[in-house]
Chain A
């Protein structure tokens, strides 16, 4: 037990910089001996940093052959190393799961020897868990860039969600910070996963609303032309291909914010491309936390850009659920999001000619664009106005954030906001309301926001 304790300590410590911990996207009754999957996902605990714990998130090993600049497990870092045995991981997962500590397993790994060697070990652990222990709960498997098609396919058959880390928003940063990882190695597995899902007709989720892009056409991501010729997805010679499921919860990826010099626009453009082409469930962002000394990275005492990460997450939500495009979020030459206001309000203030919107008449798509109205409240508005007019007092009960929405709507013909319908007036009122005090409008740095009460909102990464 002591040996396991030591390994868990080291390998959880190494895994904690992986952002994703979601368990949503697949609903499944118990089809093994123990476990099921709750479609909405369940978080079981929240650690001291406010990020949720829903999966046992560990590395298989942190003995790494690569030397990525930003990574705590890089070869040249002097750091305690450990490896699990496949059965140890499976046992630990089952014992934690029985006690309702976790929803399942998130297994990632450093690259020991070669990508294929590491992936085979991961596959062995996952198969033990599924078949020997009859585990029917959630499994998220990290795919090591450069893994062979056959092993990737086999992992997809036992895991619920797959993810390949894109790491950096563009190829220059990737070449600089992670020289051993090649864009081609990252995109080939992403493409294979999406192709397999399309083939099996099991692609679901927000990524699918972006139509009209052919994944197999030569595309220009991260400046790489024509990824590879063998783009046909690999199909195993399995006899029961009809019944088995391949990664029912789809695929995600993650990138680091603030390590290189990318702008918010670069980052979100990359995300948009990922959603369009690979129909990703999600792109995760992680504010860069200096964990190792490096000459080319931000200084080790730099605070992680949490506020920036938060704004990028908000913009990401607008892309996936609110029908916005990156082009709309950035116009007039801005490269970064406004640190003071959320991107939806910023967009609304720039497009005041579209407002105020009459909530009883506007189509659903326009309701979604009102700051303070979300998908749930927009649907409620549409539902209620079929039977009776929506009055201003009703909005709050429907879940609309009235103090923000009131500047942008009319209700049964009446406007409830400021007397002057001008961007600056509205912006000032919203800032006052959000901070309880007048923020200087010219104070455009992140620092102003990093201190104080708004911190608690900042961990969007922890929410789902």
Chain B
């Protein structure tokens, strides 16, 4: 049986509940992208807060809080099979308890580990590569296009760092943004027309930064491959130092 859910974390937890109490799941898909196959029938799983909470608490109690956080991070990835990977991990987890995260050799655990690593990596990259512009109303604004949906994971870091500056981190790919001020933040729908204007001396600081970036390289050691290893080209689109002209 294939499950179709609404793409939310609560929806996925409801699917886990159904897997145990109704027919077993052979695949879990979001509603929009599902292509019916001949082999399996499908059913729409309606997100149910009660069932989701039951599963949520069961994970905390029978596996561990660590693993709960872990599957949430995995849920944020853009892997096409992440739902089934999470389900398999939870099934194993309910059997093994908190020892599940120690079974590095198990393929089910390995899948989760590698996805979690990807998401964690992407988050780190956002901490590195977010480039704010100071806008006319003194708001900091940044554009990002991460592979995985990690914008909310960056909130903790930036909220503390820019406690007195209101800022917006705009995920252009997903039309959403992290909006924060004085340690409070929320995620909202955001489009290009919502972008404020840039401040007067913003261009000057971009130029200074670009100038610094070019000057700090030692010509005798030029090594573009090494540079691209650390700073993959797909992120360059939103980097001030390589785009400024």
Tell me the A residues contacting B by CB distance below 8 Å: 1, 4-5, 8-9, 12-13, 15-17, 29-30, 33-36, 38, 42-53, 56-57, 92, 95-96, 98-101, 137, 287, 289, 303-304, 306, 380, 383-384, 386-388, 390-391, 393-394, 397-398, 455-459, 462
Contacts and interface: CB of A to CB of B under 8 A. Distances in A.
A5 B205 CA distance: 10
Interface in B189-203: 201
A1 B209 CA distance: 12
Contact of A30 (B140, B160, B211, B219): B160
Interface string B208-244: 1101111111111111111101110000000111000
A380 B104 contact: yes
Given A51-B218, A457-B226, 6 more contacts: A50-B225, A92-B208, A98-B162, A289-B218, A304-B220, A397-B105
Contacts of B104: 380, 383-384, 394, 397-398
Contact of A394 (B105, B213, B225): B105
Pick the most buried of A30, A289, A303, A391: most chain B CB atoms within 10 A of its CB.
A30
Contacts of B230: 43, 46, 50, 52, 462
A34 B105 contact: no
Nearest to A92: B208
Nearest to A37: B161
A13 B78 CA distance: 42
A34 B162 contact: yes
Nearest to B230: A46
A51 B105 contact: no
A49 B218 contact: yes
B160 A48 contact: no
A304 to B, nearest CB: 6
B128 A99 contact: no
A441 B126 CA distance: 45
Interface of B: 99, 102-105, 110, 113, 124, 127-134, 140, 142, 157, 160-165, 201, 204-205, 207-209, 211-227, 229-231, 239-241
A4 B105 contact: no
Contact of B157 (A17, A38, A92, A95): A38
13 contacts: A1-B208, A33-B163, A33-B164, A38-B157, A98-B132, A98-B140, A100-B130, A100-B131, A306-B221, A383-B102, A384-B105, A387-B102, A388-B103
A79 B84 CA distance: 64
Contacts of B212: 8, 12, 56
Pick the most buried of A4, A287, A386, A456: most chain B CB atoms within 10 A of its CB.
A456
Given A17-B218, A29-B160, A101 B226 contact: no
Given A47-B213, A48-B224, A99 B163 contact: no
A459 B157 CA distance: 29
A384 B231 contact: no
B159 to A, nearest CB: 9
B219 to A, nearest CB: 8
A96 B211 CA distance: 12
B227 A100 contact: no
Given A50-B221, A50-B225, A9 B161 contact: no
B105 A47 contact: no
Contact of B216 (A57, A394, A397): A57
A424 B224 CA distance: 35
Nearest to B109: A397
B129 A5 contact: no
Nearest to B224: A48
Contacts of B99: 387
A8 B229 CA distance: 27
Contacts of B208: 1, 4-5, 8, 92, 96
A40 to B, nearest CB: 8
